[in-house]
Amino acid sequence: MQIMKLPRVIGRLCEKFERLPGVGPKGAQRIVFYLLHNPESELQDFAEKLIALKRETCTCEVCHNIAESNPCGVCEDMSRERNVLCIVEQPLDLVAIERAGKYAGVYHVLHGCIDPLNHIGPEQLYLFDLMRRLEGVEEVIIATNPTMEGEATALFIKEMIKKSKEGEGIKVTRIGHGLPVGANIEYADGVTLNRSFEGRSEL
């Protein structure tokens, strides 16, 4: 007696989904069997969008944001303040800041942060061409994540700017850390609470 296995194409597609972040082997199987109940035209459409992903996007060569045009919408926008530069880890961070709607300067996307455990050093990031963009900049706002790696990256960037000739006289700031709006002091973790005391401001 032969043991019935899944059709090979199902296994191969499961492997593809399995590798995506947040999808495990069980999740991948569930997705593939869900897709089996979709019409073929829907799968065709999905496949086309997948192929179009790289073809219809590009990396802005000024700020390294993922965009439809090069330079991207922010870098092209003449109404943006060019003397303020915000450094973010990922394009999604940029989108989040844009969605908040207050920041009017330009950006620089690192595409990661310094993370020695995962073999990501400053060379793997868009860090060094940041120096070429410092002319005319008055303030660099470092908006990397408040994680260990993000903090280390922020310190590294600060040192790099301070020590360089291009960085002379530039104010380097870090986004504020503390309690998120709507949070509860009772349930806040100690590190965040301490940060909110350090970052207190006069009323």
Residues in touch with a copy of itself (CB under 8 A): 1-10, 12-13, 16, 20-23, 27, 29-36, 40, 43-57, 65-68, 72-74, 77, 79-80, 90-92, 94-95, 98-99, 101, 104
**Using CA atoms in the order 19, 24, 27, 29, what is the torsion angle rounded to 10 degrees?**
60
CB of 104 to a copy of itself, least distance (A): 6
Q: Write the DSSP string, 61-107.
A: TTT--EESSSS-HHHH-TTS-SSEEEEESSHHHHHHHHHH----SEE
CB of 83 to a copy of itself, least distance (A): 15
- The smaller minimum CB distance to a copy of itself, of residues 2 and 184, is found at 2
CB of 149 to a copy of itself, least distance (A): 17
CB count in 10 Å sphere of residue 84: 18
CB of 167 to a copy of itself, least distance (A): 26
- The smaller minimum CB distance to a copy of itself, of residues 46 and 128, is found at 46
What HEC string does 146-189 produce?
CCHHHHHHHHHHHHHHHHCCCCCCCEEEECCCCCCCCCCHHHCC
- The smaller minimum CB distance to a copy of itself, of residues 25 and 121, is found at 25
